[in-house]
Structure 1
């Protein structure tokens, strides 16, 4: 399990972050609809590289297996998102367990907790990447120096 401590962001901080990063154009978390919150979660997972962009061909092939595919279009789209969210949120050590109801009939308080966990992981990841930046630059510089010396040795031999 991944362990990190994170502060709980306020609703205004969440909304500000979502609007600044342009993850979603609308940021109404007070009374989220199922479609809205699904879009928020999907965009956050894509933004965090936990979820690939949707592939319509996979959904179409899954619908072909059903007797009445028109009744299942929405669920076929939401089930992969649910499984990925459930796993990611459990991995992050969120105090609440993510259930399918949180995706299809969202509660504002629960949605805030889950979005908060995802955003805090993003901030934690971003902070760690900022710390690794100088190390990566140093390694790139060493690699360039190594290449230059190998070229110099090749010229001398």
Structure 2
């Protein structure tokens, strides 16, 4: 009996866009990857991790309690949300063994100033795992 093992083939940009639409995660166009908008990419990572149950819906009250000692805690909410998402993405990519043999790792700059190639690489890795997981769920 063969054992199943997740492998990491790179997906093309059209494959990523098609998969995101088919799974109703996001409706993207090629330009969204060619000129990635930080807000759009942030939202895409959030939706992917929510889809995989690696991220829970934000509990804003807990975040507010964490920054209640600041003069204007509401100003820090987005920063805390971004830092939490960054760490969660890094955890997920580590679970997926991505980047594995590749030379770059996910950084906070990948959220703040997304690069075309890096964004496509990391989103592709997560989308590839979504496809793998969906296939395994169908088999079960």
Q: For this structure pair, what is the TM-score category when the shorter chain's length is used for normalisation?
A: 0.7 to 0.9
Pair member with larger Rg = 1
Question: Does residue 133 of structure 2 align to residue 125 of structure 1?
Answer: yes
Ranges of 4+ aligned residues in structure 1 off by more than 6 Å: none
**Structure 1 position 84 matched with structure 2 position 88:** yes
Residue 71 of structure 1: CA displacement?
4.2
Moved more, 45-54 or 19-28: 19-28
Count of matched residue positions in the alignment of Structure 1 and Structure 2: 130
List per-residue Cα deviations over 1:19-77 (Å, max 9, x = no partner): 22221244422111211111000100000111111111122222322234354232111
Deviation at 1:121, TM superposition (A): 0.8
Task: Flag the 1:123–1:77 CA change in 2: closer, same or farther, 3 A.
Answer: same
After TM superposition, list the pairs within 5 Å mapping 1:1-157 onto structure 2: 4-27=6-29, 28-69=32-73, 71-95=75-99, 96-132=104-140
1:20 to 1:101, Cα distance in 2 relative to 1, 3 A:
same
Looking at structure 2, the residues matched to 73 and 105 of structure 1 have their Cα atoms a distance apart, in angstroms, of: 19
Q: Is the 8 A contact 2:48 2:126 kept in 1?
A: yes
Contact 1:34/1:104 (<8 A) preserved:
yes
| Kept in 2: contact 1:23–1:43 (CA 8 A) | yes
Instruction: Name which structure has the greater RCO, CA cutoff 8 Å, separation 6+.
Output: 2
TM-score normalised by length of structure 2 = 0.83
Unaligned runs of 5+ in 2: none
Kept after mapping to 2: 8 A contact 1:90/1:97: no
TM-score of the superposed pair, with normalisation by structure 1: 0.75
